[in-house]
Amino acid sequence: MEYETVIGLEVHLHLNTRTKAFCGCSTEFGKEPNSQTCPVCLGLPGSLPVFNETVLDYAIKVALALNCSIQEYTKFDRKNYFYPDLPKNYQISQYDLPLAKEGYLEVDVDGKVKKIRIIRVHMEEDAGKLVHRQETSLVDYNRGGVPLLEIVSYPDISSPDEAYEYLSSLKSTIEYLNVSDCDMEKGSLRCDANISIRKKGQEKLGVKAELKNMNSFKAVREALAYEIQRQAGCLDSGKSVIQETRLWDAKLSKTISMRTKEEAQDYRYFPEPDLPPFIISSSKIKEVAKSIPELPPQRMVRMMHEYGLSEYDARIIVSSKEFADLSEDMIKEYPGKDKKPIVNWITGPILAGANSLGIQPHRLDIPGGIPELIGLVKSVEEAKISNLTAKAVFNESLSNGKACSRIIAEKNLFQISDSSVLDKAIDEVIVSNEKSVSDYKNGKSNAVMFLVGQVMRKTQGKANPKVVQEMLKRRLENA
Ligand SMILES: [Zn+2]
């Protein structure tokens, strides 16, 4: 049977405010357990929450960047449940009057732009963290009260790859806004997915499973792919899919049932009495809007116009803000109108070099910095060194910390275009490769490439292959 997949994602995002959402405790990650707590975030009787205005500014920023409409009238609610990571037994969240609704995020899927609609963006606080050690469970409340945004998409996503692109695009947008570090390992970005399948062409939605516990983008993609297979297997064998919450087990590469609908907790909400509803003025929204920087889609278009980048190159370059900033600096400093040579280096050896070191490209420590790199690319353009040599020099420079220009000088890697040097090498090659010479003369024009290769070997790769080829052809045709 052929099925269609329907996926909706719920993303929880830590905002990187200095202090928590409703008290003055620090939000710094990795501190001594329970060292960043106070009566408010511990929920001690008599303590009162005070809303951190920066949370609102950041939340509006994200909502606007996601093309949402900000609700004029909004309030906080208590979401009641009992769990040891939440000493108050309720979480301050937003229920029926969320901060923002009805937005969208544009996602590039196989070269086509798709709009994934967003249902709502609301503010809430995080709970503490349980640490399990053998027989004991410990709780760290440092995370309790850290501001979170919940971003809920419509079920507009139709494949694990699309889910991956949505998350990448969301992460990149948030990074441009500089309101979260989006680090999944630290729990700053967490994602739950609702997934169901239905017969192709069927209108009614299938029964969904909620997936939790995915702690990387890769895990999200794998968990969704697994779940499509599992649900299809159920339907193919005549069984029905049951509505349940499932956990992704990365070690076993499978999802396992956590609880079914019958066991699901029904949260009770009621308005937070200690935080009165409030109105967000249009002047506030305008003020926040002014602080939104150029976002990836606009930056992409601008860079295509300004520097003549292809859409493909531009998309790669704007995917992270730091990489885009670095790239733009390089492009600007590269002399000449045609920026293609430096762009090819950015999306080629620089990205590859960062990948092989397992770091983000903007963290690459290029010895001598941008001027050295530009010098290297120019040397290739001016045919002073070959492209192959330049790539090898660049990689060597990354691993031993020597500037490219120094490596080239020390090893004397300048390309040989001097015809008297090349003449001698060509003479020797012609004498010792009679067969290829006669092949060429008998019309096998490809034979010349073998001879070029021999000359390159003789000159340790330093000969200019274009010049060698021209010289060889001239010699063979006149001989
Ligand atoms: Zn506190």
Q: How far is the CA of 20 from the centre of ligand 1 (A)?
A: 7
Q: Which pLDDT tens digit goes with each residue over 247-269?
A: 999 889 899 888 877 666 678 89
Q: Which pLDDT tens digit goes with each residue over 79-118?
A: 998 888 888 899 999 999 999 999 999 998 887 889 999 9
Average pLDDT score over residue span 134-138: 91
Q: How far is the CA of 345 from the centre of ligand 1 (A)?
A: 49
User: Is 33 exposed, middle or buried (CB count within 10 Å of its CB: 0-12, 13-18, 19+)?
Assistant: middle
User: Is 225 exposed, middle or buried (CB count within 10 Å of its CB: 0-12, 13-18, 19+)?
Assistant: middle
State the pLDDT at residue 464: 79
Q: How far is the CA of 39 from the centre of ligand 1 (A)?
A: 6
> Mean pLDDT in the chain?
89
Q: Are 138 and 15 in contact (CB under 8 A)?
A: no
Q: How far is the CA of 120 from the centre of ligand 1 (A)?
A: 27
State the pLDDT at residue 373: 86
Q: Which residues is 189 bridged to in the sheet?
A: 13
Average pLDDT score over residue span 387-406: 85
CA within 13 Å, CB half, 422: 22
pLDDT score of 466 more than 70: yes
Question: Is the alpha carbon torsion for 66, 68, 74, 78 positive or negative?
Answer: negative
Q: Which pLDDT tens digit goes with each residue over 301-352?
A: 999 999 999 888 998 899 888 899 999 999 999 998 888 989 999 998 889 9
Please state whether beta strands 244-249 and 209-214 pair in parallel, antiparallel, or not at all (unpaired). Answer: parallel
Reported as type and span, the H/E element at residue 268 is strand 268-271
Q: How far is the CA of 146 from the centre of ligand 1 (A)?
A: 9
Q: How far is the CA of 23 from the centre of ligand 1 (A)?
A: 5
Q: How far is the CA of 171 from the centre of ligand 1 (A)?
A: 28
Q: How far is the CA of 85 from the centre of ligand 1 (A)?
A: 14
